[in-house]
Structure formats: structure tokens, C-alpha cells
Amino acid sequence: MAKIAVLGSGTGSNFQALLEEFADEIVLVISDQPGAGILEKAKAAGIPTALEEGGPGLSARILKRLGGIDLICLAGYMRLVKDPLLSAFPNRILNIHPSLLPMYPGKAAWEQVLADKAEVTGCTVHYVDAGIDTGEVILQEKVAILMNDTAKTLHARIQIAEHRIYPEAVRLVLKKMTGGAL
């Protein structure tokens, strides 16, 4: 069975959605934020956690903890993944982003979308490469923008879609990794 590590900086709702499908596979949660909700959720679920705050050697420190891990899922992780971590997991690091990439990469994409008066947005699961939200797309789901949407209501609706496509994308990637035998 594949072993998954989840990295996150925030509330951890995507982690929770992944956990519902991959309770046996998720064996470690790492955060860079001591008070992050994702750590609380992991502890409540009995999953080992680690704190790796920013600063020198962050990628190497994280990599050291990942012995035996097959797949890394970023779930609201607010840092760039760099070497040596990045090259140790080629096509083995996934991210969820709250827009239809390649449109609106970067922070608070739902605010960028509203400022642009776009009519549709969505979310994307993609492989992580060295760029900011530039890796190959695995799955996307569209989310309509409503006339009276605020940043909060739009993000909340995008998150509902995120919680659907992230587990689905992980399933696809695991299937690919195991040559279809799942």
C-alpha cells in the first residue's frame, strides 16, 4: 500500500477530505505553522505530525522525515517546494490550487478572479514543479461565480469542489504509480 505524507500550513480541510478516502495511506502530516488546524486535525485522527518551520535547510529537513513515503500531497502549503525535496520526488508531489490553472496562479486566486470580474473559476490538482502553480494538470473542476459572491462565499464554494477532486486525483495518480493495480 502506498504511503502518503501531507504538507499544509492552514486549516486542513483538504487534508480532511483526503483522510476520508486514504486513512490507511496517510502516515504523516508536516506543517510549517505551529498553530495550524491541519496539525490539530491530524492529531485528532491519530496521525503522526511534524513541525518544520521556515529557515535554512527546510527542504532537506523535510526530506529527512520522508523515508518510505511514496507520494506527497500539498494541501494549503504556503511555501515553494525546492531541492533537494523536489528532485527526490519526481511526479510524486501534488498540489491543489483554487483556480482553473494556468489562470490565476499564486495567492488568494479567488480574490484575483473577483477583481477581474470573471464569470467562471474553479480548482486544479496538478503535479508540483519548480514554478508557482505551473506543473502538469491532473484534474480540474469549474465553479460558477455568482453575482453577489464575496471572497468568502466564492472560496467556500471552490473548497467544496476541491474536496471532491483532490481525492479523485490522488486515486488516479496512485493507480498510475501501481500500474493500474489498485
- Decide whether 57 or 102 has the Cβ nearer to ligand GRF: 102
Candidates 113, 162, 167, 174: give the one binding ligand GRF (CB under 6 A).
162
| Residue 113 sits in the site that holds ligand GRF (CB under 6 A) | no
As a three-state string, the secondary structure of the chain is CCCEEEEECCCCHHHHHHHHHCCCCEEEEEECCCCCHHHHHHHHCCCCEEECCCCCCHHHHHHHCCCCCCEEEECCCCCCCCCCHHHHCCCCEEEEECCCCCCCCCCCHHHHHHHCCCCEEEEEEEECCCCCCCCCEEEEEEEECCCCCCHHHHHHHHHHHHHHHHHHHHHHHHHHHCCCCC
Q: Could you say which of 97, 126, 155, 163 is catalytic?
A: 97
Task: State yes or no: residue 96 binds ligand GRF (CB under 6 A).
Answer: yes
- For this structure, is 97 an active site residue? yes
Among 4, 5, 7, 8, binds ligand GRF (CB under 6 A): 8
Find the binding residues for ligand GRF in span 58-87 (CB under 6 A): 75-76
For residue 98, state whether it binds ligand GRF (rule: CB under 6 A): yes
Q: Which residues are catalytic?
A: 97
Query: Where on the chain is the footprint of ligand GRF (CB under 6 A)?
Result: 8, 10-14, 75-76, 96-98, 159, 162
